Amino acid sequence: MPDGVVGVERLVVEHAERLSGEVAVQGSKNSALPILTATLLCDGICTIENCPDLSDVDVTLEILKSLGAKVLKEKNSVIVDSTEVCGFKISKEMMKKIRSSILFLGALSARMGRAELCVPGGCKLGPRPIDWHLAALSQMGLKIENQDKMLFCELEDRFKGAEITLPLPSVGATENIILAAVLAKGTTIIRNAAREPEICDLCDFLIKCGARIEGAGQSEVKIVGVERLSGAEHRVIPDRIVAVTFLAAAAAVGGDVTVQSVAPAHMQSMLEVFKKIGCDVNVAAESVQILAKDKKLAPIREIVTKPYPGFPTDAQALFMVLASISDGSCMFVENIFKNRYKHAEELVKLGADIKVMDKIAVVKGVDELYGEETLEAKDLRGAAALVIAAMAADGRTTITGVEHLDRGYEDFEKNLRRLGANIKRI
């Protein structure tokens, strides 16, 4: 949801005794968004399957349409034909709606030789600068004039290959450089690249389209620019954070839940924590079952968020809920975003014992959380965490700001209800 827009919908969540059953996990939002952006680079038809049906995806498709692409979306299948793209400006309104719109900087400049767009706004996770994106693309030959947060970008001819070392393995900056580099003149090397599975998924898609990329998923990625990319068919990888959200819900209230159509290898750091707190975790090729016992969760002790394959910042809020009802203390260290503890103050309203000091949060497990409160969700993952906390809490909890959930979770309440939760959206 854009900053400043107050949602009217709310969730009413009752205490849940136990969850049981199976849930099929959607495709990854953070893969689908860069892949859809990458379709701008292709001559021909791209068919993207397992694309999650989310508001962030809809905004990305609106941007593509506004540039002249033909787009057809049917639930989880999206067809994009960018052959006739002729626009080079993206409206401020659309740029501000989603953070990942910044990926159009690389893709649109590569496609059209120029781009006019604005800097996506700050967000609830902190300032989220784009200086590494700008520096890298400038190094690759893009002239960028920044006037009052409007970016006027121009290439003399094509992007030029370059050797780029990122200060930290930024997901978005790595993706933007890849999008610029696949059609560049010459070879690009990215050092200290992000290694997230979503980066690999973007590269897998681009390789199907004819791109030459080596080393995706490693710290050094090499991209040899090609003259053109064709369309391709691609299936988006499962959303590891959504999968873990359902497992965390089961761990919080007890039960037996299996997430289907997942990639367990992408969830390793989080599955380890479920085991540590006393849940049985059964991993198969494409599913994970969690058996959460009725007794109190064992202490987590420490969660330190890091770039992949470390513990993901996107799961920090979910595990803070588990720490809040565990038998002991846990220290959280949030290394990725400066302001990603907004959920903590809401959890405290339910009776959680959490002290936040800058990037550290110390959580002491309590015996029970109490509902009967109205909580405000302030970001996507925080919203999911509050729903789980509300299910674990005694009584009934109301949650506002639920539009955040629609940015990242398809049929969230419906899936939880199928597992036995009592949640209503009003």
| Active site residues per annotation | 123
Strand order in the sheet with 163-165: 163-165, 187-191, 221-224, 212-214
- Sign of torsion over alpha carbons 356, 358, 359, 360: negative
Q: SS3 for 400?
A: strand
Q: Between the CA of residue 332 and those of 262, 296, 324, 383, what are the distances in Å?
A: 26, 20, 12, 18
User: Which residue in 324, 303, 340, 314 sits closest to 391, CA to CA?
Assistant: 324
Task: Give the residue, chosen from 51, 60, 107, 132, that forms a contact with ligand EPU under the rule CB under 6 A.
Answer: 132
Binding to ligand EPU (CB under 6 A) within 274-303 occurs at none
The answer to whether residue 305 forms part of the interface with ligand EPU (CB under 6 A) is no
Nearest to ligand EPU by Cβ — which residue? Answer: 172
Binding to ligand EPU (CB under 6 A) within 181-200 occurs at 194
CB of 179 to ligand EPU, least distance (A): 13
Q: SS3 for 361?
A: strand
Assigned token pair, 84: 């006739």
CB of 94 to ligand EPU, least distance (A): 15
The answer to whether residue 378 forms part of the interface with ligand EPU (CB under 6 A) is no
User: Which residue in 217, 117, 136, 116 sits closest to 177, CA to CA?
Assistant: 136
Task: Give the residue, chosen from 61, 115, 130, 184, that forms a contact with ligand EPU under the rule CB under 6 A.
Answer: 130
Span near ligand EPU by CB under 6 A; candidates 218-226, 250-258, 310-318, 348-356: 310-318
The answer to whether residue 173 forms part of the interface with ligand EPU (CB under 6 A) is yes
CB of 400 to ligand EPU, least distance (A): 18
The answer to whether residue 180 forms part of the interface with ligand EPU (CB under 6 A) is no
The answer to whether residue 3 forms part of the interface with ligand EPU (CB under 6 A) is no
The verdict on whether omega for the bond into residue 309 sits within 30 degrees of 0, i.e. cis, is yes
Task: Give the residue, chosen from 15, 97, 99, 378, that forms a contact with ligand EPU under the rule CB under 6 A.
Answer: 99
The answer to whether residue 131 forms part of the interface with ligand EPU (CB under 6 A) is yes
Comparison of 30 and 397: residue with beta carbon closer to ligand EPU: 30
E runs forming strands in 1-43? 10-14, 19-24, 42-43
CB of 201 to ligand EPU, least distance (A): 11
CB of 153 to ligand EPU, least distance (A): 15
Task: Give the residue, chosen from 89, 128, 301, 359, that forms a contact with ligand EPU under the rule CB under 6 A.
Answer: 128
The answer to whether residue 380 forms part of the interface with ligand EPU (CB under 6 A) is yes
The answer to whether residue 170 forms part of the interface with ligand EPU (CB under 6 A) is yes
Query: Which x/- pattern over 323-352 shows residues binding ligand EPU (rule: CB under 6 A)?
Result: -------------xx---------------
Q: SS3 for 5?
A: coil
Residue 137, Cβ density class (10 Å: 0-12 exposed, 13-18 middle, ≥19 buried): buried
Assigned token pair, 42: 């292709």
Cβ atoms of 288 and 266 within 8 Å: the answer is no
Span near ligand EPU by CB under 6 A; candidates 79-87, 166-174, 289-297, 384-392: 166-174
Task: Give the residue, chosen from 72, 168, 304, 360, that forms a contact with ligand EPU under the rule CB under 6 A.
Answer: 168
User: Which residue in 105, 114, 90, 171 sits closest to 137, CA to CA?
Assistant: 105
CB of 172 to ligand EPU, least distance (A): 3
Comparison of 205 and 369: residue with beta carbon closer to ligand EPU: 205
In b/e form, how buried is each residue of 8-29, taking b as 16+ CB within 10 angstroms?
eebbbbbbbeebeeebebbbbb
Span near ligand EPU by CB under 6 A; candidates 104-112, 178-186, 244-252, 307-315: 307-315
CA–centroid distance for 173 within its chain: 14
d(CA 142, CA 240): 34
Q: Name the residues that contact ligand EPU, by CB under 6 A.
A: 30, 33, 99-100, 128-133, 168, 170-173, 194, 312-314, 336-337, 380-381, 408
